[in-house]
Structure 1
Amino acid sequence: MSSTKFILGLFEDPDEMLDGIHKLQQNSIPIYDVYSPMPIHGIEAKLGIKESRLGYAAFIFGCTGGTVAFSMLYYMLVWDWPHNIGGKPNFAIPDFVPITFEWTVLFTAFGMVLTFFYATHLFPGRAPRVMDLRATDDRFVIAIDARGNVPHEDITNILKEAGAVEVKHNDRKYVSYE
């Protein structure tokens, strides 16, 4: 059995890489991931990637922040230590709006940063995980899981037909920068 975990097709041009994706999909070869040094418009739809759920997470964090702020203000200013300031009511909602808004934004910002770190595995101090170091500089990489049913030679030929400059057989999942 081969120790190859991934077959990498390296391309110089994004259009050739998109052609490679199309040819692989025509031959029913599942693509593990695509790495690019720049954003490519429409590649998510081509790969069948679902729409992000980060908006839902932001909404939940915002609701949590607003609820916490409003609850704290109510507890501190109305229930625990009410003050009679010029005969105004203790529970004046317009007074609560600025602080509640700021806490909503604060919870959303911090929650989204933590969610981003969790989703991308890019915690501070951790080495980035990339398939090929040139994918961050000047190459477009298609990674294919080699443990499928299709022979490796067929995948290599399809990638070369599509315009791959180089086809690599990786025995490790990621390459480190060290």
Structure 2
Amino acid sequence: MSKIKYILGLFDDPDQMMHGIDKLQENKIGIYDVYTPMPIHGIEDKLGVKRSRLGIVAFICGITGTFTAFSLMYYTMVYDWPMNVGGKPNFAIPNFIPITFELTVLFCALGMVAAFFFRNHLFPGRAPRVMELRATTDRFVIAIDANAIADSTQVDNLLKEAGAVEIKHNERKYVSYE
């Protein structure tokens, strides 16, 4: 079984990298991913990245916390051990609002952390997936899947025309910083 190879175009300037993305898309060459040391405005739209579903995950986690809080308080205060406190009803909703709010926020926060770790593959003991180490410091990298294209020299020429400082042909590696 062969390893998937990638063509990496390294750029010094974000504008040149955006020009490289345009050139590749004009020639119908699919881009695997783009790695930048800083956020670049408008790159998601240019690459066709879908909108995040993180808000849906936050809502589901918050509703889970709300239902957990209400069901726990109902079970303890009404069903399991009802107490007469100052003649108030056992299920007085205004008394439950602070705890419900706190559990909603707690479940939402912990759910978002879990979703972040799951989505970004940041599990304990897993080596980070790094294509080019300089992408975190001073280089802007466009990665193209070499198996998806027929002619790699065409991609090399397009990247050079766009202003790539360096072009690498490599296999995907999992780099460990230890």
- C-alpha separation in 1, matches of 2:43 and 2:6: 20
- C-alpha separation in 1, matches of 2:149 and 2:45: 25
Matched, 1:53 2:53: yes
Matched, 1:152 2:152: yes
- C-alpha separation in 1, matches of 2:116 and 2:30: 26
Structure 2 length normalisation: TM-score? Answer: 0.95
The aligned counterpart of 1:28 is: 28
1:81-126 Cα shifts (integer Å, max 9, x gaps): 1110111111100001100110000000001101000000122443
* Runs of at least 5 residues in structure 1 that lack an aligned partner in the other structure: none
**Aligned Cα root-mean-square deviation (Å):** 1.5
8 A Cα contact 1:11 1:166, kept in partner = yes
The offset of 1:174, in angstroms, is 4.1
Matched, 1:95 2:104: no
3-state DSSP of counterpart to 1:87? coil
Partner amino acid for 2:130? V
Displacement over 4 Å in runs of 4+? none
Counting only pairs closer than 5 Å after superposition, residues 159-174 of structure 1 correspond to structure 2 as 159-174=159-174
- C-alpha separation in 2, matches of 1:129 and 1:147: 19
The offset of 1:172, in angstroms, is 2.6
3-state DSSP of counterpart to 2:148? coil
1:40-74 Cα shifts (integer Å, max 9, x gaps): 11100000000000100000000001101110000
The aligned counterpart of 2:136 is: 136
* Runs of at least 5 residues in structure 2 that lack an aligned partner in the other structure: none
The aligned counterpart of 1:67 is: 67
The aligned counterpart of 1:123 is: 123
The offset of 1:3, in angstroms, is 6.6
8 A Cα contact 1:29 1:150, kept in partner = no
